[in-house]
Structure 1
Amino acid sequence: MSIVSRLRSAAFAVFAATIGPLALAAPAAAADEPTIGVVVPTLDAQFWNNYVTFMKKGADELGVHLVVLNADNKPDQMVKSLEDLVAQHVDGIIFTPYWATAARGLSLAKDAGIPVVLTDSYPSFQPQSDRFPNYIAFIGPSDEDAGYQMAKALFDAIKPGPDGKKVIGVVNGTAGTSVAIDRRKGLEDALKEVSDVRVAGEVDGNFVRDTSQTVFESLYQGNPDITGVWAANGGTATGVMAALKGHGKTPGKDVIVVGMDLNPENVDAVKSGELLFDIGGHWLQGGFALVTLFDQIKGFPVPKEADNIKLKLLPLTQNRVAQFEKDFPGGVPPYDFKQHSRFYNKDAKPAAFEMKYSD
C-alpha cells in the first residue's frame, strides 16, 4: 500500500470510529466535482448499457466525474478494475459483486477509506456493518418476485401436451450470483404451486445473448417437446428466440418465451408477440445508487432504514405496451437527479422509486 493510501486508511479509521458507520463520509480530498468509479459485469449486455447511460445522465446533472470500467464477464477483471479505482483515489465506488467479489472489493475500498454502494447482486452480509462500515447501501431488484411473476405468466399461457403436462426449458443466468439464484427461487416457488408443469432441462446462459442461444439450441434439440421457456433476463430471452428461429420455430406461437429487463429489443418483442412477458426497469438502480453515494460524499449519510433497497419491478405484456410507451418514452421514467439529492434539495424524496403505470 502506498503512503497516500496508508494516510487515507488511517484517517478513515479515526473518522469512522469517531462518528460511527451511519455517518461514514467521503475522503477529505473530495472536490466540488467528486469522482465516482463504476464497475459493471459486462457491456456486451444491453441491460448494463442502459444502466450506464442513466448513470451518465445523473453524473451530468449532479456534477460528478464518472469513471466506468467493464469487467467483461471475468471475475479477475472485476477485481482488477476495483484495484484500479482504488489506485485512482476515487471518492466513491459503485459495483455489482458477481463471482463473490463483494468482500474483496469492499476490503480494498475500506483500506483506502472509500464508501461503496453495491447494486443488483448482494453478498450474505448487510450494509453498514462493523466489518464493512464503508458498505453504505445496496440497491437492486426483487429478483425472486420477478422470477415468480415470469413463471406464472408462462404457465398460464402454455397448453398441455398429450400427457397433460406443460413442458418448459429453463435458461438461467450467471451461476452463483444472487441475481440468478433469487430469480430461480421465484421459478421454484411457482413450480411448487402447480402439478402439470414439467421442466425438461436447465442450462446456464450467463445472462448474455450468444451464450444463451448456444446452450438453448442444444437443450431444445434434445427436448423438442418444449413449448415454453423461462429465460433469466433480456439477453437470455433474445438468445432463446434466435435459437428457436434457427430451428424453424416461431417464438410466441410454437414456443412461448418469458424474460426480464425491459430492454428496448425485448419491449419490441413483446409488442410483436414474440415475447409473452417481460418485467424490469431495475437498470435504474445505477442512477439511484449514484444519487445515494453522491449525497454520502457530500455529507448526507444513508439512514440505516434505507440502506437495503429491493425494487419491485414493472411487468409488461402486449396489452400494456401502448401504456408503457406513453408513461415511459424511450423506456425511461421522468427523473430529476437534483430533486432526489438531499445535497441539492433538503426535502428530497428517497433516491429510489418503483416504476408504475399511470392507469
Structure 2
Amino acid sequence: MKRIRTFGAAAAALGLAAALTACSGGGLLDAPKDDSAEGAGESYTVGVSYPTSNSPFWAAYMDFVEEGAEQLGVELNTVAANGDEQKQLADVQNLISQGVDGLIITPTSTAVASQLLQTAADADVEVVVTDRYPDFEPGTEGKPPYTAFIGPNDELAGENIARALIDAGSDKILALGGVPGSSVTEGRKAGLEKAIENGGTLVQYQAGDGEAQENGLSAFESLLQAHPSGTANGVWCYNDNLCQGAIKAAQNADRADEYRFGGMDLTPEAITAIEKGDYYVSFGGHWLQGGFGLVMLYDKLGGKDPKTPIVKLDLLEVNADNVAEFKEQYIDNPPEYDFTELSQITNPDATGSFEITLR
C-alpha cells in the first residue's frame, strides 16, 4: 500500500492555501487505496527548474512537487535558477544531459522561455511549463513544442487585488509591480489596469527591480516621499513580499493607517499581517501548480495527453473575514492529497480539472 502523507513543513508554514477539488472524484484523500502508482505506470526521472530557493512560496511549490513524486513513484532532479536566465539555460541543458525523462520548467522570464523549450525539444524531452506563460500555446506553428502550461490566472488576480481595495474604499492606488518582461508581471498589471478602468484612480505604478521585501521597502519609501498624505489610500502589490516591505516603510514613516494593502501569494508573513490588521487581503494557493504540473507530465510520459493543455488557476482570497477559517482548515488540520486520483494513468476516470477552493 502506498504511503500518503500531508504536505511538508514549508507548505504547512505557507498556509496550505487551498483545497484541491478534481472532478475525477476529489484528489483529497477519503480512504487508503490498495492500488499503487508503481503498479499502474512506469518509473520516470523528472527534472524541475524553478526560479529561486530563497522564497517560502517556491519552497512550498517544491514540497508539493515532492509529495506528488513520492506518491507516483517519480524520481526528481531539482535545481533553482536564482533569477539568472543564463544559469537556467545551463541548468536545463545539464538536466537533459543527465537523462531526465521530462521537465517541469518555470522560466525566469518570458524572454528565455522559448530558448528553454527549444533546448528540450532538440533533445526530444517533454516539458510542462508552470507559473510563467511562454506567450504561445502548445502546438503553435513556428514555436518550440511543449506539453502543457499550468499557472495562476494572473490577470484576474491582479484585477481582484485592485477590486478588493477599491470596494473597501481605497480607490486611490499606488502600485508596486514586478520585474518587467515576464507574463506574470504583465498579466497582473493588465488586471490592475482593468479594475481601474471600472472605478478608482491609479496614482502611480512603480515597476519593480526585484520581488523581495527589501525591494518593496525601498520602492515604497520613494513613493511616500513623492505622494504626501491624502493623495493615495490603497497599495496594490505584485506579491506579498513587496507589500510586506511597503507596510514596513509606511510604519516607519508613521503613515500605515493611511492605506489598505493588497497582494498575492499567501505567505506566512502575509497571513500573520492579515490577522494583525496590517494587511487587507492576499490571494494565493497557486503553489499547488507544481504538483499538478507533475501529474500532467506523468500522464504524458505514460501516453496520455493532458485533457486541458492550458490551465489558468483562479486563486483563493483570504482577508480578515475568513483568515480564521482558512487557518483552521489548512494549517491546524491540513488535508491529505491522493495524486493517483488525479492521474489518468492511475485513475481512468480522472478529468484533468483542477480548482483551488476554501471548503
Please give the range of the TM-score, normalised by the shorter of the 2 chains: 0.7 to 0.9
Q: What corresponds to 1:246 in structure 2?
A: 252
Counterpart of 2:185, as a letter, is A
Q: Report the equivalent of 1:171.
A: 176
Distance 1:331 1:138, change over 3 A: farther
Q: CA deviation at 1:221?
A: 2.3
Contact 1:113–1:134 (CA<8 Å) still a contact in 2?
A: no
CA 1:278–1:287 in structure 2 vs 1: closer, same or farther (change >3 Å)? Answer: same
Q: Could you list the per-position Cα deviations for residues 177-224 of structure 1 after superposition, in whole angstroms to 9, with x for gaps in the alignment?
A: 111111111110111112x52413423153322222222222222223
Q: Which aligned pairs between 1:120-139 and structure 2 lie closer than 5 A?
A: 120-131=131-142, 134-139=145-150
2:238 aligns with one of 232, 236, 252: 232
CA distance in 2, matches of 1:224, 1:32: 62
Equivalent residue number for residue 16 of structure 2: none
Q: Max radius of gyration: which structure?
A: 1
**In the alignment, what sits opposite 2:186?**
181
1:44-91 Cα deviation digits (max 9, x unpaired): 222111111111111111111111111111121221211111221211
1:325 paired to 2:327? yes
C-alpha separation between the residues in 1 aligned to 2:169 and 2:202? 12
Structure 1 unmatched ranges of 5 or more: 1-30, 160-165
Tell me which residue corresponds to 1:307: 309
Task: Judge which range, 109-118 or 338-347, deviates more.
Answer: 338-347
Alpha-carbon contact 1:138-1:309 (below 8 Å) kept: yes
Counterpart contact for 1:45–1:235, Cα < 8 Å: no
State yes or no: 1:275 paired with 2:279: yes
For the aligned residues, what is the CA RMSD? Answer: 2.1
What SS class does the counterpart of residue 98 from structure 1 fall into?
coil
Q: Which amino acid is the alignment partner of residue 112 of structure 1? A: A
Pairwise CA distance, 1:330: 6.0
The one-letter code of the counterpart of 1:168 is: I
Instruction: Say which SS state the counterpart of residue 182 (structure 1) adopts.
Output: helix
Q: Cα offset for 1:333?
A: 5.1
Give aligned-pair identity as a percent.
37
Contact preservation (8 Å) 2:105, 2:128:
yes
Task: State the Cα distance separating 1:332 from its structure 2 match.
Answer: 5.9
Give the 3 Å change call, closer, same or farther, for CA 193–98 of structure 1 in structure 2. Answer: same
CA offset digits 1:216-255 (Å, max 9, x no partner):
22222222334321011122222212222232343xx332
Question: Which residue identity is paired with 2:204?
Answer: A
Quote the residue 1:149 is aligned against: 160
1:35 maps to 45
The one-letter code matched in structure 1 to 2:84 is K
Q: Name the residue aligned to 2:347.
A: 345
- 5+ long unaligned stretches in structure 2: 1-40
Shift in Å at residue 128 of structure 1?
3.0
Q: Please give the secondary structure, in 1, of the residue aligned with 2:43.
A: coil
Equivalent residue, structure 2, for 1:90: 100
Alignment check: 8 A CA contact 1:277 1:317 kept = yes
Higher mean alpha-carbon deviation, 207-216 vs 58-67, is at: 207-216
Residue 294 (structure 1) shift: 1.0
Secondary structure at the counterpart of residue 356 of structure 2: coil
Q: Deviations over 1:244-288 (max 9, x none)?
A: 2232343xx332100101122212211221110111111110000
Question: Take 1:171 and 1:308, find their aligned partners in 2: how far apart are those partners?
Answer: 28
1:112 equivalent in alignment to 2:123 = yes
Counterpart-to-counterpart distance in 1, 2:49 and 2:323: 32
| Alpha-carbon distance in structure 1 between the residues aligned to 2:221 and 2:144 | 46
Secondary structure, counterpart of 2:341 in structure 1:
coil
State the SS of the aligned residue for 2:340: coil
Structure 1 residue matching 2:207: 3-state secondary structure:
strand
TM-score, with length taken from structure 2: 0.82
Once residues 108 and 98 of structure 1 are traced to their aligned partners in structure 2, the CA distance between those partners, rounded to angstroms, is 15
Structure 2 residue identity aligned to 1:248: D
**SS of 1:108 mapped into structure 2:** helix
The alignment partner of 1:36 has SS state of strand
How many residues align? The count is 316
